[in-house]
Amino acid sequence: MAMRWKNTLKESEATPESAYLNRRQLMAGAAGMGLIGLPGIARAETLDPHPWEDITEYNNYYEFGTRKEDPAKNAHMLTTAQWSVKIDGLVERPGNYAFEDIMAKMTVEDRLYRFRCVEAWSMVIPWNGFELRDLLELAGVQSAAKYVAFETALRSDEMPGVAYPVLDWPYVEGLRLDEAVHPLTIMATGIYGKDIPNQNGAPLRLVIPWKYGFKSIKSVVRISLTDREPPTSWNKANAHEYGFYSNVNPEVDHRRWSQASERVIGGGLFSAKQPTQMFNGYGEEVASLYKGMDLAVHY
């Protein structure tokens, strides 16, 4: 049996859902939900607590608009009923998997993760979800598979942002297979024990905490196993600024700004910054995946 991931983050490092829970309630609830000791994100002791609104109203989901407030404003248009995920390519059991059937077979866990955006801001998010490798095992990965490709829903009648050529729609992403089956890699279905909001990627999104946030593709409708490195949306748009791997790395700057530090959401635009951690603080768990690679080249 494969080893399960063990979280080392403390509950005190979480961004609390202050819209629903006060600090005392959060501590009691975290113990009941198993949040204590789970993976984490930015140090809460350097920030004021983040409300639910910060997590759900400050995000990027360009299919609903390019401003931070656009996803929360427009994502209610997205219909998530009767959702399914097409799993194809190098798998033993290809097909359209209904979301309800997937959930009936998966083990949902609480995962408290650091979240680091390539735009140099961060927050801590308590996700609910299951390990991606369990879904891939359900489909049966063939031995020739080396990569996993993902695709977001594309619905022009529900997603006003796709009317603009910001990216080559639909949004696509990809991982190496060993990254995809790592215990830290999850498919998130909720936040704070509630169904994940549309603007955060309902009903099913990828979360890879050691990579920049744009790798964590939202509202997934297709997963394909392949033997070739798949195209990814931001890499197609600007390969010089967005590499395939996109690991959080304070030593490799974005072409237009430094990645050495980050602004924690909730502290204000001009709040003090904190140093960015290599692999977003998950180096002990994932650095071995990139042994021998020049991370300044394979960024």
The response to whether 80 counts as a known ligand-binding position is no
73 marked as part of a ligand binding site: no
Is the pLDDT confidence value at 26 over 90? no
| C-beta of residue 225 within 8 angstroms of C-beta of residue 142 | yes
pLDDT exceeds 50 at position 33: no
Residue 276: count of CB within 10 angstroms of its CB? 19
Burial class (CB in 10 A: 0-12, 13-18, 19+), 267: middle
Q: For 93-115, what is each residue's pLDDT tens digit?
A: 999 999 999 999 999 999 999 99
- N- to C-terminal Cα separation, the chain: 32
The answer on whether 116 is annotated among ligand-binding residues is: no
Known binder of ligand: residue 191?
no
Structure confidence at residue 266 (pLDDT): 81
Q: Tens of pLDDT along 50-62? A: 778 889 999 999 9
22 marked among binding-site residues? no
Q: Residue 45 above 50 pLDDT?
A: no
Please name which of 278, 253, 275 lies closest in space to residue 43, comparing C-alpha atoms.
275
Please give the average per-residue pLDDT across 189-212, as a whole number: 97
Residues in the chain: 299
Encode pLDDT of 70-95 as tens digits: 999 999 999 999 999 999 999 999 99
Q: Is 216 marked as a binding-site residue?
A: yes
Q: Is residue 260 over pLDDT 60? A: yes
Is there a binding annotation on residue 217?
yes
Domains of the chain: 11-290 (3.90.420.10)
What tokens appear for 288 in the block?
A: 């071995």
Q: What is the mean pLDDT of residues 177-201?
A: 97
143 is written with which tokens? 């031995």
Contact assessment for residue 58 and residue 200, using Cβ atoms and an 8 Å cutoff = no
200 among annotated binding-site residues: yes
Residue 67 marked in a binding site:
no
